[in-house]
């Protein structure tokens, strides 16, 4: 895990080199072990290193081959690097034990198609002297970020937005499109970002940069690469294949030359990861969990049950809710891209790194791949109630208005909007499931009469009209929206704030491809993630499978009205710098929240607080 920076097709080489040095300093937290810079007449490449595999100086980057015939900077891990190394050894003389060198060898054999051979999480930039071309690539599921911007001084790219902003080449402006997306979903969906003009390279894509410009190509997407499983395959065969893929995924992600462990909440996903780690290795797995004095937040009985079952070297980090509260400003300071989520990842990453661990496995992705959220059940029920569309829209809309008046809440607001939709089906209603602020809210907040197109609706139209099974369609929507643009981005920025690498076994592309091809008859969640839990047999006890889902359900509303009151108000005041926002409406929302308006929950205000802090921190004007 590292950080990469660069400028291509620049005007002045010395100035470009200095700007890359500035970007390197800006992301020093991502790679405290080493830094480097290389340049020629097409590009300048920078790197900050967090050494995980082959920690010797041979692994420092930029990595050179054949007197700069090829040069690469790389963030992430190629988990199957040993298998690729054996495959490529006949035609390449390896000089190091790094996975970085495997990228070079793979590119020499397969060219840009090398990315199709990598199992891993990565963002890399590789310069090829023979073609005088730069290849910039990102992994299939978007675990590792890569931002870029086209400026008058060249194409600038980096692992973090703050590095791009440090160059002074990009106007620090939040546009209307970006703002509306953030207000809807507490994030900005790729390829956009919170800054107008700053883009993300999409997952499963690579960019080719030459003196003539750049092009972007897609090499993988979940829908077209899903497995096509024969109708005659039995459930037991499906379960066995899933177990084999899971085991292989965890085993590959345990490759490291530094101390590592796993996050253990005591939920199904993290418990399975820890169970498989213990099955694979004779060494005791190191596990970490946050526990709380307050019983309503505390999951320690479950994490301790798993730790005892698998005899892990367990470290419970006991906090009080107020301890978490005190870390919130630090978490917001660490945030590279604003997000309404993420503070919990900051806390667990902090204490894990302080325990001497540089890499940790996480259960992130289990809910998305194996239909663990309630939205899967809701979309299945909606599909089975197509008859609701026979009811005239005017009657449905009236029923929604009546519900809102009888029981005012955000939930009934959302239900009323659903009933007033043109169609009651997953394609039209899924985009509403994770929406924070609604279109009329956004119109008031932006003084805009024509709201920009909702990118989730565009994606929903494509995905729900594909030939995937219904639950797999919902999985793709979850993975390509909330997971990629909130969970994975938060995991990266909050863990790298502490120079900690997080690996996610449930997002092995082979596993994702296979599970997306499994029929709904096998996958339907009669119990939480039944397909997943059945695939690992009796690996984890029923107490874990049948337990209630908890998570970090802290008293945010209480905090925001009391301990965090002045902090929140100060951040909201900072939003005056965002010209596209109607600041008076922002403060009206805040007052309604403080007056216990049931239509304004804390989760509708907190993303605005986060945005205000981010605007102030990054001097957006």
Task: State the catalytic residues.
Answer: 2
CB 172 within 8 A of CB 618: yes
Backbone angles phi, psi at 455, to 5 degrees: -65, -25
- Token pair for 558: 């209480």
As a whole number of angstroms, the distance between CA 123 and CA 491 comes to 15
Task: Indicate the DSSP class of residue 75.
Answer: E
- In Å, how far are 73, 205, 352, 394, 512 from 401, measured between CA atoms? 56, 45, 49, 11, 41
**Rg (the chain; Cα; Å):** 24
The kind and range of the H/E element at 199 are: strand 199-200
The kind and range of the H/E element at 135 are: strand 133-138
DSSP string for residues in 548-566: PP------HHHHHHTTTHH
Task: Indicate the DSSP class of residue 32.
Answer: B
3-class SS of residue 152: coil
DSSP string for residues in 312-351: -EEEEEEE-HHHHHHHHHHHHHT-SS--SS-HHHHHHHHH
Question: Left, alpha or beta for 365 (phi > 0: left; psi -120 to 50: alpha)?
Answer: left
CB 192 within 8 A of CB 55: no
Beta bridge partners of 48: 3, 35
CB 73 within 8 A of CB 61: yes
As a whole number of angstroms, the distance between CA 276 and CA 249 comes to 10
As a whole number of angstroms, the distance between CA 498 and CA 430 comes to 35
CB 520 within 8 A of CB 178: no
The closest alpha carbon to 472, from 462, 464, 461, 483, belongs to 464
Task: Count CB atoms within 10 A of the CB of residue 309.
Answer: 16
DSSP string for residues in 174-186: --HHHHHHHHHHS
CB 48 within 8 A of CB 27: yes
- Token pair for 434: 């994770």
As a whole number of angstroms, the distance between CA 204 and CA 221 comes to 6
Classify burial at 316, counting beta carbons within 10 Å of its beta carbon; exposed 0-12, middle 13-18, buried 19 or more. middle
As a whole number of angstroms, the distance between CA 315 and CA 319 comes to 13
């Amino acid at each position: 895990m590292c950080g990469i920076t660069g400028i291509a097709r620049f005007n002045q080489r010395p100035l470009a080199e200095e700007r890359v040095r500035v970007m390197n300093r800006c992301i020093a937290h991502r790679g405290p072990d080493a830094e480097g810079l290389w340049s020629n007449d097409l590009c300048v490449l920078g790197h900050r290193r967090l050494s995980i595999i082959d920690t010797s100086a041979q692994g420092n980057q930029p990595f050179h081959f054949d007197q700069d015939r090829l040069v690469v900077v790389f963030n992430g891990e190629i988990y199957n690097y040993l298998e690729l190394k054996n495959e490529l050894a006949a035609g390449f003389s390896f000089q190091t034990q790094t996975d970085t060198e495997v990228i070079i060898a793979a590119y020499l054999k397969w060219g840009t198609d090398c990315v199709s051979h990598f199992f891993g999480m990565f963002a890399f930039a590789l310069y090829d002297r023979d073609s005088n071309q730069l290849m910039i690539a990102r992994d299939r599921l978007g675990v590792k970020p890569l931002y870029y911007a086209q400026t008058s001084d060249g194409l600038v790219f980096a692992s973090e937005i703050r590095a791009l902003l440090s160059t002074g080449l990009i106007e620090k402006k939040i546009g209307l499109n970006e703002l509306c997306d953030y207000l809807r979903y507490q994030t900005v969906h790729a390829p956009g970002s919170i800054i107008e003009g700053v883009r993300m390279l999409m997952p499963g894509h690579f960019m080719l940069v030459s003196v003539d410009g750049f092009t972007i190509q897609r090499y993988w997407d979940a829908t077209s690469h899903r497995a096509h499983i024969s109708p005659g395959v039995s459930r037991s065969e499906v379960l066995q294949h899933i177990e084999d893929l899971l085991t292989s995924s965890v085993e590959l992600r345990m490759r490291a030359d530094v101390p590592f462990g796993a996050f253990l909440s005591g939920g199904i996903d993290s418990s399975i990861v820890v169970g498989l780690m213990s099955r694979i290795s004779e060494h005791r797995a190191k596990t970490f969990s946050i526990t709380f004095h307050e019983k309503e937040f505390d999951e320690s009985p479950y994490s301790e049950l798993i730790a005892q079952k698998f005899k892990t070297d367990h470290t419970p980090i006991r906090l009080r809710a107020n301890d978490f509260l005190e870390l919130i400003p630090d978490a917001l300071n660490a945030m590279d891209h604003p997000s309404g989520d993420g503070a919990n990842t900051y806390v667990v990453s902090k204490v894990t790194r302080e325990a001497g661990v540089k890499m940790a496995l996480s259960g992130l992705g289990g809910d998305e791949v194996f239909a663990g959220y309630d939205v899967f059940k809701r979309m299945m029920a909606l599909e089975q109630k197509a008859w609701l569309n026979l009811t005239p829209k005017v009657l449905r809309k009236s029923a929604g208005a009546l519900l809102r008046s009888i029981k005012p809440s955000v939930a009934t607001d959302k239900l009323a909007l659903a009933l007033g939709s043109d169609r009651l089906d997953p394609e039209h209603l899924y985009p509403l499931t994770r929406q924070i602020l609604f279109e009329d809210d956004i119109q008031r907040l932006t003084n805009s009469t024509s709201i920009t197109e909702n990118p989730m609706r565009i994606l929903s139209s494509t995905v729900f009209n594909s030939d995937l099974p219904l639950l797999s369609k919902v999985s793709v929507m979850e993975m390509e929206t909330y997971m990629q643009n909130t969970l994975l981005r938060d995991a990266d920025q909050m863990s790298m704030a502490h120079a900690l690498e997080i690996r996610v076994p449930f997002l092995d592309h082979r596993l994702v491809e296979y599970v997306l091809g499994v029929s709904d008859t096998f996958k339907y969640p009669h119990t939480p993630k039944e397909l997943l839990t059945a695939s690992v047999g009796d690996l984890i006890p029923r107490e874990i499978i049948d337990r209630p889902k908890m998570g970090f359900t802290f008293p945010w509303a209480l905090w925001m009205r009391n301990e965090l009151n002045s902090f929140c108000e100060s951040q909201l005041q900072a939003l005056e710098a965002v010209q596209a926002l109607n600041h008076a409406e922002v403060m009206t929302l805040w007052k309604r929240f403080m007056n216990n308006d049931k239509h304004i929950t804390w989760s509708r205000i907190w993303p605005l607080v986060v945005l205000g802090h981010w605007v102030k921190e990054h001097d957006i004007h």
